[in-house]
Structure 1
Amino acid sequence: MQPGLLLRAGIACAAIMAGPAGAAAQGQDAAEGSRGLLRVFFDCERCDFDHFRREAPFVDYVRDRTDAELHVLVTSQDTGGGGEAWDLFFLGLGERAGPTDTLRFVSAQGDTDEEVREGLTRTFKRGLVPHVARTVAAPLLDVLYAAPEAATQQAAAADDPWNLWVFRASVGADWEGESRRGSRSFEGSFAASRTTESLKIDLSSDGRWDRDEFEFSDGAMLTSTSRSINHAGLIVWSLGPRWSAGARASALTSTHVNQDLTIRAAPAVQYSLFPYAESTRRQITVLYSIGLASFDYEEITLFDETGETHAEQRLEIAARFQQPWGEINSALEASTFLHDPSLHRIDLFGRIEYRIARGLNLSVSGSVARVKDQLYVPREDVADEDVLLQRRQLGTDFEFEFEIGFSFTFGSVTNNVVNPRMGANRGRRFF
């Protein structure tokens, strides 16, 4: 394989090793690149967007299709061999409008999530260079990119009227009922975020209200309601490839945990064993925070308190690995009130997906917690109906959960034909 073309996009360059077809297009691409980085709208609901942005940083990713020059639409369907066929449609917009370019990646039945993700990433990068993507050199195509300085990257945001802020809002309602039972619920949320290489800001608010009504055989009516409103904020500064500093704050009102208003605020520092740039593949982090928590209770607690304020500290160690053989995700979190270390909580969570052999996979997940920090438990007994409906948090010393499962797929692994007619039989009811 001989050197092909050299793409230059503004301040960045991507060295692309391809076949003879690349040399013919070199001049044209260099001229196009002088106008700036290609604006791409990446449209894939099931993809790890952070990974794609890191692996292919030689384009500008936009949030709205109308701002893009290229729309990459990713769809998938099951294949007859037990794998999945992924189609990537490269749709030119505006001045680049023209014939649709489509590439396909087919995963095998025994592929792990990491293998599927890497296959999609390679196909995506090939599709960004359409003049070589359909040549015999395409399977060997490689993209090497020298990333620009973070400050230069952020300079491109100067023309953004939103200044990199992204907002999300939702609202919903649900009604259902029978002759002797009915329920209503309302919920809504709002979130705002701004993310750069040096600073991350996340703000969110969400709330929910539920009401259930039941009629007993003697005609008596039972009504149960609950509400929850939570506001949270996070700000994080980058202190290098492995260190971060930030602060969290929250305000909560919830009938479930007997809290009329709880306010928490705490600065935090985090260290990553591996550089943050590798977080989509491997990550081990240690986080420590110390701050204040102020409680205002709806009902008098077991400790005869209607409100109190205490200092608290939290330590969290988390690890995540995505490898060709599977995935590991685990975390250990411990917190305590400084005025009384016996009031503490320790949580341990773990999950592993491991490919034992081709087509045979093991999945294990579980969590266990030692719970000694329930200051909010009301002194009065919780009504039976609230226990049955899980409307109130009960006092407990521990919590646990465990799941284990195996999956085995066998048969043909060469059938890549997709036939979506009449759906698929997955044990659903006929009508």
Structure 2
Amino acid sequence: MKKVLIITLLLIVNFANAQKNEKTLKIFLDCEYCDTAHYKQELEYVEFVRDRKYADVHIFFTTQNNATNGDKYNIEFTGKNKYKDIKDNLIFSTTGETTTEEKREIILQNLRLGLIRYWIANGLKDKITLELKSERKADEKEEKDPWNKWTFRVGARGWFNGQESNYSRNVNGNLTIKQVKEKNKFSLRLGINNNKSVYKFDDEEIISERKSSFIYANDIYSVSNHLSLGMFVNAGNSLYSNKAFYYSIKPGIEYNLFDYKESEKKSVYINYKMGYVFNRYYEETVFNKNEELLWQHNLELGASLVEKWGNVSGYITYRSYLHDTTLNGFRTSFDTSLRLFKGFSLNLYASYGLSHDQINLRALGASREDILLQKQQIKSGYSYYGSVGLSYTFGSIYNTIVNPRFDL
């Protein structure tokens, strides 16, 4: 009798909750980088569900980096069930100076805007109030940009750790300069890196040190909605790679099968670069060179697709020196995240490369210590990396409640 009473009470509670949930707009927030807990607490008159199959509204986010080191957001609102005829799309941007809190509030504001038509269809128009900002006055002039789209970013970082038998430290810094316009994109990046590790064995200290610096610059011009031309320059030095000084200058061309404006959702592209490369080495190489100037070309084919069921991307690259095409390299990469059915997700990543163009290797080779401490680059004909992830979620479809206790 006691068991029957408990089961009856549970059925009554579940039935009451079901009636309540039927009157609430069910949404699936499809956003990997969003602060979901914040929106669960702040977004009114909705019930968050764990899978798009259960949702009345599928809210799908895509982003692209913009010229101000911020992000351009594109949110698609797709109605399902009785809301299937309602669709909306909102686009907005943040800057590099936008704080985390400001970004959360901007996203929340746009979520509310995008849900208005669904709330009205759900009978909640009496709960909605709108406030419109006044239009620009006739005598007001549009603000001019004194920086003419130029942005600058300076950064520095360091870390250290250790124990009685060893310690490590790293110091690095960088400077980035950009100007992004509709027809032209220029960027310049400089950086330095210094990494040192010390291992103590008996009374001996074994030291591993890596130092490098670089400068990358590119200037890209829009020829059409599908075609681009660019110039790519880089220079620097690397103790690990046996390069006391290097630089390369390569013009390039790229064609995208789809309009560049659609690149946040889909892209199929091919690009080609050709130019010369100069290397001056710390030590003589396996080809008995102390410095050399060579011509090199690069070809890349890539594609990406972002949809509500997941995303897929991949590329294939080929490079070789023109004086000897047997000195070449190849790399391919594939990345996908799929929602195969309710609650089940599959993540795959694979990368494989061949390298027959290591002209910079030291003639004297590397000692066991150099190899173990990764003090210098060694001969390697291939490299690979792969990962597989599976997840299956089942149970209650509702996940609106936020309980942060003991999360810190």
2-structure distance, mates of 1:296, 1:388: 26
Q: 1:111 to 1:233 in 2, by over 3 A?
A: farther
2-structure distance, mates of 1:255, 1:128: 49
What is the aligned residue count?
Answer: 319
Give, as a single letter, the amino acid of the residue that structure 1 aligns with 2:182.
E
Once the two structures are TM-superposed, the CA of residue 103 in structure 1 deviates from its matched residue by: 6.2
* SS, match of residue 386 in structure 1: helix
Q: 1:107 to 1:319 in 2, by over 3 A?
A: farther
Once the two structures are TM-superposed, the CA of residue 419 in structure 1 deviates from its matched residue by: 1.8
TM-score w.r.t. the length of structure 1 is 0.68
Give, as a single letter, the amino acid of the residue that structure 1 aligns with 2:358.
Q
Q: Confirm or deny: 8 A CA contact 1:360 1:406 kept in the other structure.
A: yes
1-structure distance, mates of 2:351, 2:368: 27
Matched, 1:174 2:115: no
* SS, match of residue 370 in structure 2: helix
Matched, 1:230 2:208: no
Once the two structures are TM-superposed, the CA of residue 129 in structure 1 deviates from its matched residue by: 11
Give, as a single letter, the amino acid of the residue that structure 1 aligns with 2:61.
R
Residue of structure 1 equivalent to 2:223 = 239
Give, as a single letter, the amino acid of the residue that structure 2 aligns with 1:203.
L
Runs (4+) of structure 1 exceeding 6 A deviation are 103-106, 129-133, 138-141
Residue of structure 1 equivalent to 2:392 = 408
* SS, match of residue 419 in structure 1: coil
Residue of structure 2 equivalent to 1:209 = 194
2-structure distance, mates of 1:244, 1:421: 52
Residue of structure 2 equivalent to 1:159 = 144
1-structure distance, mates of 2:336, 2:247: 35
Once the two structures are TM-superposed, the CA of residue 139 in structure 1 deviates from its matched residue by: 7.7
Matched, 1:308 2:292: yes
Q: How does 1:308-347 map to 2 (within 5 A)?
A: 308-347=292-331
**Which residue of 116, 126, 133 maps to 2:60?**
116
Q: Confirm or deny: 8 A CA contact 2:157 2:173 kept in the other structure.
A: yes
Q: 1:407 to 1:206 in 2, by over 3 A?
A: same
Q: How does 1:20-419 map to 2 (within 5 A)?
A: 75-77=35-37, 85=39, 108-111=49-52, 116-117=60-61, 120-122=75-77, 125=90, 127=109, 136-137=119-120, 159-217=144-202, 219-419=203-403
Q: Confirm or deny: 8 A CA contact 1:75 1:87 kept in the other structure.
A: no
2-structure distance, mates of 1:221, 1:76: 49
Residue of structure 2 equivalent to 1:92 = none
Once the two structures are TM-superposed, the CA of residue 176 in structure 1 deviates from its matched residue by: 2.1
Q: 1:304 to 1:237 in 2, by over 3 A?
A: same
Q: Confirm or deny: 8 A CA contact 1:105 1:120 kept in the other structure.
A: no
2-structure distance, mates of 1:131, 1:346: 47
Query: Structure 1: any 5+ residue segments left out of the alignment?
Result: 1-44, 48-73, 79-84, 89-101, 142-154, 425-431
Q: 1:46 to 1:416 in 2, by over 3 A?
A: closer
- 1:63-117 deviation line (CA, Å, top 9, x unaligned): xxxxxxxxxxx74228xxxxxx4677xxxxxxxxxxxxx66876643359x9531
Give, as a single letter, the amino acid of the residue that structure 2 aligns with 1:301.
T
Give, as a single letter, the amino acid of the residue that structure 2 aligns with 1:137.
I
Give, as a single letter, the amino acid of the residue that structure 1 aligns with 2:275.
G
* SS, match of residue 77 in structure 1: helix
Q: 1:104 to 1:328 in 2, by over 3 A?
A: farther
Say which is worse superposed, 239-248 or 130-139, in terms of deviation.
130-139
Q: Confirm or deny: 8 A CA contact 1:312 1:336 kept in the other structure.
A: yes
Once the two structures are TM-superposed, the CA of residue 134 in structure 1 deviates from its matched residue by: 5.3
Q: 1:138 to 1:120 in 2, by over 3 A?
A: farther
Q: Confirm or deny: 8 A CA contact 2:312 2:337 kept in the other structure.
A: yes
* SS, match of residue 374 in structure 1: coil
Once the two structures are TM-superposed, the CA of residue 128 in structure 1 deviates from its matched residue by: 5.6
Residue of structure 2 equivalent to 1:20 = none
Q: Confirm or deny: 8 A CA contact 2:237 2:245 kept in the other structure.
A: yes
Q: 1:256 to 1:220 in 2, by over 3 A?
A: same
* SS, match of residue 36 in structure 2: strand
Once the two structures are TM-superposed, the CA of residue 386 in structure 1 deviates from its matched residue by: 2.4
2-structure distance, mates of 1:240, 1:107: 42
- 1:375-420 deviation line (CA, Å, top 9, x unaligned): 0010112132221122221111111111112111111112311222
Once the two structures are TM-superposed, the CA of residue 348 in structure 1 deviates from its matched residue by: 0.7
Q: Confirm or deny: 8 A CA contact 2:59 2:76 kept in the other structure.
A: no
TM-score w.r.t. the length of structure 2 is 0.71
Q: How does 1:12-23 map to 2 (within 5 A)?
A: none
